[in-house]
Amino acid sequence: MSTDVGWSLILGASLGLGLWLLVSLVPIFRRPLLLHRVAPYVLDVSAGARDLVARQRVNPVRVLGVVASPVGDRLAPAVHAILGSPQRVERRLRQASAAESLSNFRGRQLRWCVIGGAAGATIGVAGAMQGGQVVLPAALALLGAMLGAFVIDWLLQRRAKRRLARISSELPSILEFLSLSLAAGEGLQDALRRVGTAGHSALGRELAAVVADAAAGTSLSRALATLADDLGHPGVSRSVDQMRGALERGTPLAQTLQAQALDARDAAKRDLLEAAGRKEISMLVPLVFGLLPTTVAFALWPGIYVLQVGF
């Protein structure tokens, strides 16, 4: 690929994108017609206005999606195998408490695929202009697209893990609070409502949502089971099983939740010790390269200074 052809591709794409953005921002193309502005106010007297308002604009993205659906159906298993199954992504979104749906998440992945592919193709064209291989733009475009998709998925996994870790740290306190409320004579639903409104913790908000579902007509046992299935947290699942057993069989629950709170604290201590054992080398880095040289400098500098002054 010659230098002139490479620069022409880059500058032509940039010019086309800039012109498209400028044309889309022109007010005359964005201003609605007088007919569309008047129609909502004459719906009761004009059948044509009702037909005009009832019309729905066709999204070209949906049309392209319908046209490309046979190809998409064939590629869907491979995409799910690489980027994760829909059930797995939906669970991660639920664990991360993300407001977006699965389709919105896939759309965001697609956008970053396009951005990564465009960036990789630009770098490849620039490399090919300097005498690189002709296939370099295609290879870098594919690499950039894959990197964009995987980065979005990695960020979602990181967000879900951080929220689950926060729930793990809050679980012992929540269980102790529930056991105290139950020991004081409150029912399970009232205790859950009290815990949900007591603070702004992640697990407290989940329990408040459970109480809201129960108030809307869902049984409390079913709402708790849905919470355990959606989060997939072992400690929360064990606690929910005990709560559901107490609701169905009428068994006492305060002492059981207190024991589970102690177990959760012991598990947190074990996890902390295991994390410290896995990060021994990384914990030594600031000691060896930070504190130790500073200590040696403070110890040797006065003697060196005295020797320089005295001699």
Q: How many CA atoms lie within 13 A of 132 on its CB side?
A: 16
| pLDDT value, residue 136 | 78
Higher pLDDT, 206 or 8: 206
For residue 25, pLDDT beyond 70:
no
The encoded tokens of residue 240 equal 């929910």
Q: What is the pLDDT of residues 39-63, one digit of tens each?
A: 888 887 787 777 777 765 545 545 5
At CA 305, angle to CA 304 and CA 307, rounded to 5?
65
| pLDDT value, residue 159 | 92
Q: How far apart are CA 285 and CA 293, in angstroms?
A: 12
Q: How far apart are CA 235 and CA 169, in angstroms?
A: 11
Minimum mean pLDDT among 22-26, 144-148, 186-190: which range?
Answer: 22-26
Q: Which domains does the chain have, with CATH numbers?
A: 1-57 (no CATH), 169-273 (1.20.81)
Do 175 and 195 touch, CB atoms closer than 8 A? Answer: no
| pLDDT value, residue 74 | 66
**What is the residue-averaged pLDDT of the chain?**
80
Do 195 and 178 touch, CB atoms closer than 8 A? Answer: yes
DSSP string, 273-286: HHHHHHTHHHHHHH
At CA 87, angle to CA 172 and CA 166, rounded to 5?
20
pTM of the model: 0.66
For residue 94, pLDDT beyond 60:
yes
Do 174 and 203 touch, CB atoms closer than 8 A? Answer: yes
For residue 265, pLDDT beyond 70:
yes
b/e 262-277 (16+ beta carbons within 10 angstroms → b): eebeeebeeeeeeeee
Confidence of residue 158 (pLDDT cuts 50, 70, 90): very high
DSSP string, 19-58: HHHHHHT-HHHHSPPHHHHHGGGSTTT-HHHHHHHH--PP
| pLDDT above 90: percentage of residues in the chain | 3
The mean pLDDT value for 182-209 works out to: 84
| pLDDT value, residue 66 | 52
For residue 193, pLDDT beyond 60:
yes
